[in-house]
Amino acid sequence: MNKPRSILKYFTALEQSEGVGAKVRRSIGSQELRNFTPFLMLDHFNVSPPAGFPDHPHHGQETITYVLGGMIAHEDFTGSRGVLRPGDLQFMTAGKGIIHSEIPVELESGAPSVGLQLWVDLPMHLKDCEPRYRDLLNNEIPSVQPKAGLEVRVISGESYGVGSMSELAYTPVHFYHYITRKPGTTFEQHFPSNFNVFMYVLKGSVIVNGKTFAQYSSVFFNTDGSRVEGSGSSEESEFILIGGEVLDQPILQYGPFVETSKQNMYEVIGNYQSGTNGFERAQGWSSSIARGVVFSDVAKIESCE
């Protein structure tokens, strides 16, 4: 197994509408690939006010939001609220139920909010855990430059001997943001044998196993090796490498609700409709940010975190 992983599948993430007027490039969760355990969805979003993702529920999963540009305000029915800036991440565990809102901050520059949102399945025994949030700020993320022209932001896991701050998700996930600054810069990233691994190209192009992958390419790997290796093939390339522990359980998904059986799903939908078993606070709740957030609102939102 001490060899590079081979490629299982690859395709280009196409743009589609999502939320209220938002545009996303969806890779996992698309017609090309429904899921890739433990991953349920990956969206590369680019949204400008008044577009956004107003009040909506989740159950049985975790979401990881990584802001690359602009600012995103969030609020949920537990009273948690805050603002994510470029380089910040939020790890949200929906557990038995949560309703929240994610809205781009309207900046004077008019710049959109850009980033990634990854949906991760929860192990069966944690589907009904209490919801929780963990924010990981830009200045808390270690960065390593193992050679000229290569930088890795170690969001979760370990790369070139540098470890991340802590485990932030219930389902084990390793998350790396790679940047190569000259063509031909090589890289390699190791992953546990029981992890599914994929790559998403944010900028430029990357060569893996002799094939060149351009911007917005999604590349999925087999579990037949210990690492992913390749090189940047443009003047500057950026890509994410993410791995997660394979969950040996059924996946039944109904929008933002994720369960392991039809019976469980019927119960969750009933809980949501009746405001019970995790959704008690949903009755009559609406976020204060759903109608939009301007930059002058940010200080007030953060003072209430």
Token pair listed for 212: 């060149």
What Cα–Cα distance (Å) separates residue 200 from each residue in 204, 221, 248? Answer: 11, 12, 24
CA distance 296 to 143: 31
Answer for the pair 138, 86: CB distance below 8 angstroms, yes or no.
yes
Nearest Cα residue to 162 out of 195, 121, 127, 190? 190
Token pair listed for 195: 């992890």
Annotated binding site for Fe cation: 56, 58, 100, 102
Token pair listed for 80: 């948690």
Annotated binding site: 56, 58, 100, 102
Cis (ω within 30 of 0) for the bond into 38? Answer: yes
State the SS3 of 218-246. Answer: EEEECCCCCEEEEEECCCCEEEEEEEEEC
CA distance 8 to 25: 20
The total number of residues written for the chain in this structure = 305
With the C-alpha atoms ordered 103, 66, 255, 268, is the resulting torsion angle positive or negative? negative
Answer for the pair 77, 99: CB distance below 8 angstroms, yes or no.
yes
CA distance 166 to 151: 20
Q: Which residues pair with 142 in a beta bridge?
A: none
CA distance 98 to 127: 12
**277 three-class SS:** coil
